């Protein structure tokens, strides 16, 4: 049985300017001790405008916290106003990039094909995608959450070779649980995360599926993280609102103490 290092990642969404970002990362690094990083990986996904400041801080002080972007262009360069490319993120030494967050899918019309192109762009430039999948309320009410989420997974991983897919992080984020305070039960999270792992085994191999980390995201807080993390196929969390409060985020990182 492979041991997977949990990944606790804060998705700041469109919050914290670069000065606030510096203060926030300093607060996290002050609060987190070396032993916190022994068996949990900690990452933040700030807005693009913060990344240079975060990189300077992390590099300068050799912080153990990792960072990444919330989106990536499918294109390497050119006339794509407003977009930020894989080479630019790689130059900033980002480790991760979120792909296909439900807010990108919902407000920016990102299809599974677009997500697939972005996953490929991330790998092309040495970035690790955190691929977000998950169903909306209507799908959940109809009981179709597993088939819906697996179709998103299949679409985003189309023609992605095993050498790349073996390092992917999948974030299962049921849309109805994002920012609503409505957290999925640990059993809800396990049902879909387990199905995602089985699909990865079908698409690639059991060995690959056992190595891939699958996060849960949606109203994760210090008070509910331990129960979710206790499920066998949940290997971390993608945290929105609670990641903006440094003390709360540190408690989530220390989920074993909660």
Ligand X SMILES: O=C(CO)COP(=O)(O)O
Quick one: which of 213, 184, 185, 186 has its CA closest to 197?
A: 213
Could you give the string, one character per residue 224-253, with x where binding to ligand X holds by CB under 6 A and - elsewhere? --------------xxxxx-----------
Of 43, 40, 36, 45, nearest to 4 by C-alpha is: 40
Q: What is the dihedral of CA 114, 147, 189, 171, to 10 degrees?
A: -10
Q: Tokens in use for 107?
A: 């407000």
The active-site residue, picked from 101, 103, 110, 135, is 101
Helix axes 51-60, 18-31, angle to 10 degrees: 30
Residue 145 CB, nearest approach to ligand X (Å): 16
Question: Would you say 101 or 120 has its CB closer to ligand X?
Answer: 101
Please give the residue whose beta carbon sits closest to ligand X in the complex: 240
- Residue 75 bears catalytic tag: no
Between residue 54 and residue 113, which ones bind ligand X under the rule CB under 6 A? Answer: 101
Asked if residue 179 binds ligand X (CB under 6 A), the reply is yes
Using rule CB under 6 A, residue 152 touches ligand X:
no
# residues near ligand X by CB under 6 A: 14
Give the span between the Cα atoms of 111 and 101, in whole angstroms. 11
Contact residue for ligand X among 218, 231, 233, 253 (CB under 6 A): 218
Least distance from C-beta 157 to ligand X, angstroms? 19
Cβ atoms within 10 Å, residue 212? 20
Residue 161 lies near ligand X (rule: CB under 6 A): no
Of residues 28-57, those binding ligand X (CB under 6 A): none
For residue 6, state whether it binds ligand X (rule: CB under 6 A): no
Contacting residues for 198 by C-beta, under 8 A, at least 6 apart: 209
When asked if residue 220 is in the footprint of ligand X (CB under 6 A), the reply is yes
User: Is 8 among the residues that bind ligand X (CB under 6 A)?
Assistant: no
Provide the pairing of β-strand 236-239 with 41-45: unpaired
> CA separation (Å) from 79 to 73, 85, 88?
11, 11, 15
Binding-site ranges for ligand X (CB under 6 A) = 11, 101, 173, 178-179, 217-220, 238-242
Residues serving a catalytic function are 101, 173
């Amino acid at each position: 049985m492979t041991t997977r290092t949990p990944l606790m990642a804060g998705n700041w969404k469109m919050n914290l300017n670069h000065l606030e970002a510096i203060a926030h990362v300093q607060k996290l690094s002050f609060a987190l001790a070396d032993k916190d990083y022994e068996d949990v990986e900690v990452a933040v996904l700030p807005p693009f405008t913060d990344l240079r400041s975060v990189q300077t801080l992390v590099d300068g002080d050799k912080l153990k916290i990792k960072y990444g972007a919330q989106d990536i262009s499918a294109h390497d360069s050119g006339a794509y106003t407003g977009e930020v490319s894989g080479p630019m993120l790689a130059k900033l030494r980002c480790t991760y990039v979120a792909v296909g967050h439900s807010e990108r899918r919902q407000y920016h019309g990102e299809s599974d094909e677009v997500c697939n192109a972005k996953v490929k762009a991330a790998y092309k430039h040495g970035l690790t995608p955190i691929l977000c999948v998950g169903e909306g309320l209507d799908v959940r009410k109809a009981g179709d959450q597993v088939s819906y989420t697996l179709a998103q997974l299949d679409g985003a991983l189309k023609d992605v070779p095993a050498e790349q897919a073996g390092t992917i992080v999948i974030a299962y984020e049921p849309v109805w649980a994002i920012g609503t305070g409505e957290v999925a039960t640990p059993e809800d999270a396990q049902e879909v995360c387990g199905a995602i792992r089985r699909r990865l085994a079908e698409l690639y191999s059991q060995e690959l599926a056992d190595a891939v980390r699958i996060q849960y995201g949606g109203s994760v807080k210090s008070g509910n993280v331990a129960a979710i993390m206790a499920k066998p196929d949940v290997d971390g969390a993608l945290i929105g609102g609670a990641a903006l409060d440094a003390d709360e985020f540190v408690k989530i990182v220390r989920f074993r103490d909660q």
